Structure 1
């Protein structure tokens, strides 16, 4: 007689999930979920501490919800640029990219792929083609009129894209459901700040929004002390500040 080997207690669950390697997709609601793929640090330790995996995830869709468009996205995007080893793709950004500013931030604009698309159909088509190609380090697309069915298709395509895939939508879209596993609401603050509220993540809800300081290093070197974050307010009666330009003479 041969004894029947005992089945592993999780064998049935493993078979349902497609193997033990899929356990990373399961998490307790009271804890941050694990991200089995690579993540890219955001550049702010306080934000990385509340993001599943500790940064912007690859192989998935992330939503940035902000109004007006372009008010806070560039500040949050800047620290990601130097970490990319492949081109960055921008689809229909609300402002013209500023190559000199990005070069000062430590990233070469030669690695930029800028797609100008005006209609919602063109924006969606360009984003889908970039995800299918999987040839960029990150994709950032402004899709203010994207529908839920289109987002589900983007989420499927993003699962095969190695780098972060960021879809920027109006802040009012936070009230609608979305297949994106990670959603953040951004709000620009005075003193070069950004308020970040995690609308959706793999884990418990964030009880308090984060306040990040996004003052560029190049600007911090020349900004007067009275205009830096945390500076004391102007005395009563001083309703304006005069900033005199610095003129440098360069011999040719």
Structure 2
């Protein structure tokens, strides 16, 4: 008796997008491609990073996690070039929630951030930091929100992400690189570290779209120094600084012109 024929699995074949209507072909997303952003984006100031991010920049409707081995090391080197886009309107502000070091207004002014556009919120405990960050996101703050949340749990980040979907400002959560051991609802996660010379090295750990394997080497010479440092010195270490030292504008004492809000429940 002949053995019963078993159904064979279909053979995978390439799909011709040309067979679809034009509007459907344009909306089709392949898993090997970088997805488009769900909302408005702002340029990071680094062309190579813009090309690797959905929508070509920092999203204004969703969380971006910056993961660092040591806090207060690379944040402003990475975000500094985007400050003009964050502060396009004179009514916009940069809100700092519990930064690990006192903001140095004159240093930030060199990056294009006027003291009156900087708001430092000195929230001490983890619960206060989360509460302040959530209130800022829910209020749809104009500008950008930077929150240092080393102890945030995934379910707490999920709550922030839900609110960020309805906020028209970029929201950055600065967290330790050890947080990679936990899943995160944030649609974008990047690891940032000091690189050779003035560079910072960035690896995209999570994004909407294809997996990113390569390390991006970003030329992060502060804009006010770029005109004075000759090209032959661009790959040399910053003079007088060791790798463990702070290399950004949060490394000095606060000037009196920066508004400081204390949160204590």
Report the TM range for the smaller structure's normalisation: 0.7 to 0.9
Contact 1:103 1:109 survives alignment (8 Å) = yes
CA 1:98–1:29: 2 relative to 1, 3 Å: same
1:224 CA displacement = 7.6
Residue deviations 1:227-248 (CA, integer Å, cap 9, x gap): x32249xxxxxxxxxxxxxxxx
1:82 CA displacement = 1.2
Alignment of 1:79-228 (within 5 A): 79-83=81-85, 84=87, 85=89, 86-222=92-228, 228=233
Task: Compute the RMSD of aligned alpha carbons.
Answer: 2.1
CA 1:32–1:100: 2 relative to 1, 3 Å: same
> Which consecutive unaligned segments of at least 5 residues does structure 1 have?
1-19, 233-252
SS in structure 1 at match of 2:96: strand
Taking the aligned partners of 2:205 and 2:190, their CA distance within structure 1 comes to 5
The TM-score normalised by the length of structure 1 is 0.77
1:81 CA displacement = 1.2
Counterpart check, 1:229 vs 2:231: no
Taking the aligned partners of 2:97 and 2:116, their CA distance within structure 1 comes to 16
Taking the aligned partners of 1:124 and 1:91, their CA distance within structure 2 comes to 9
Query: Which position in structure 1 is the counterpart of 2:5?
Result: none
Taking the aligned partners of 1:201 and 1:187, their CA distance within structure 2 comes to 18
Q: Which 4+ residue blocks in structure 1 deviate beyond 6 angstroms?
A: none
> Which consecutive unaligned segments of at least 5 residues does structure 2 have?
1-22, 238-265
Contact 1:134 1:160 survives alignment (8 Å) = yes
SS in structure 1 at match of 2:52: coil
SS in structure 2 at match of 1:49: helix
The correspondence for 2:51, drawn from 37, 49, 52, is 49
Contact 1:89 1:136 survives alignment (8 Å) = no
The correspondence for 2:33, drawn from 19, 31, 34, is 31
Taking the aligned partners of 1:81 and 1:28, their CA distance within structure 2 comes to 32
Contact 1:184 1:197 survives alignment (8 Å) = yes
The TM-score normalised by the length of structure 2 is 0.74
SS in structure 2 at match of 1:79: helix
1:137 CA displacement = 1.1
Higher RCO (CA < 8 A, seq sep 6+)? 2
Query: Which position in structure 1 is the counterpart of 2:60?
Result: 58
Residue deviations 1:120-142 (CA, integer Å, cap 9, x gap): 11110110110111123111100
